[in-house]
Amino acid sequence: MSATEQRVAIVTGGSRGIGRETAERLAADGMAVVVVYAGNQAEADAAVENITARGGRAIAAQADVADERAVAAVFDQAEAVFGGVDVVVHAAGRMVLAPLAELDLDDLDRMHRTNIRGTFVVDQQAARRVRDGGAIINFSTSVLALALPGYAAYAASKGAVEAITLILARELRGRDITVNAVAPGPTATALFLDGKDEQTVAKMAAQPPLERLGTPADIAELVSFLAGPARWINGQVVRANGGIA
């Protein structure tokens, strides 16, 4: 495949966890990848090195996903280096857990800035610049269906992500661009495991009928499907949670 024919993916939150696994999976699928990171350049560079060591093409780009100028610059860079953008995976997110009555409102504002405004900003650039035949994939959470205490603010932000996703899919009528959201269940990432004791983790791992936590590779497999062959799945929220709900 020539460079001009190669599909190009932008992956936000690509320096670690699900985002990094997704970036490496899409590169393995044959895409050139822009690994977008907020602050951890070392991890983003490591992801790029892993991809290039396997013969793939990748670059790292820094951006606050809620900053429209920074996000536009990432798309500019993708177009300048790789020739365009075909797939956008918006995996960057922030999670702060506390009962509604106790949550610090500054934490609420920061979380919603990243999760809601960030999704809107990234999707806005994607809607303007993804080439026809492309895919936009956002991240929600299976917590929306589970209604777990402590997750009110986080789940509210992801409810907004689902609304944005479903409406954008319909606004892009005629472009042959799919827009979907992936809603992971409990997945063994640093974001999920942070602050949880072993008993809590074991209890959550036992909930799905498959009786384990998900892995970043489980989620990246679904993203790969939605980014590539799944052209008839559009305007959907796909719950990847081992059957938990």
- pLDDT digit string, tens, across residues 186-226: 888 877 777 788 888 888 888 889 988 989 999 999 999 99
Q: Is 154 a catalytic residue?
A: yes
Asked if the structure places residue 240 within a domain, the reply is no
Asked if the structure places residue 220 within a domain, the reply is yes
Asked if the structure places residue 201 within a domain, the reply is no
Asked if the structure places residue 224 within a domain, the reply is yes
Range of the domain at 149: 8-185+216-235
Q: Which of 34, 154, 187, 242 is an active site residue?
A: 154
As a whole-number percent, the residues of the chain with pLDDT over 70 amount to: 98
Structure pTM? 0.94
Domain count, the chain: 1
Asked if the structure places residue 46 within a domain, the reply is yes
Asked if the structure places residue 131 within a domain, the reply is yes
- pLDDT digit string, tens, across residues 68-86: 999 999 999 999 999 999 9
Asked if the structure places residue 1 within a domain, the reply is no
Distances in Å between the Cα of 227 and the Cα atoms of 10, 21, 87, 130, 141 are 11, 14, 6, 12, 19
Residue 4 pLDDT > 80:
no
Beta carbons of 154 and 141 less than 8 angstroms apart: yes
Helix ranges (DSSP H) in the chain? 17-28, 41-53, 68-82, 105-112, 118-129, 143-146, 152-171, 190-193, 198-205, 216-227
Over residues 101-126, the mean pLDDT reads: 98
Asked if the structure places residue 59 within a domain, the reply is yes
Beta carbons of 105 and 150 less than 8 angstroms apart: no
CATH number of the domain residue 156 falls in:
3.40.50.720
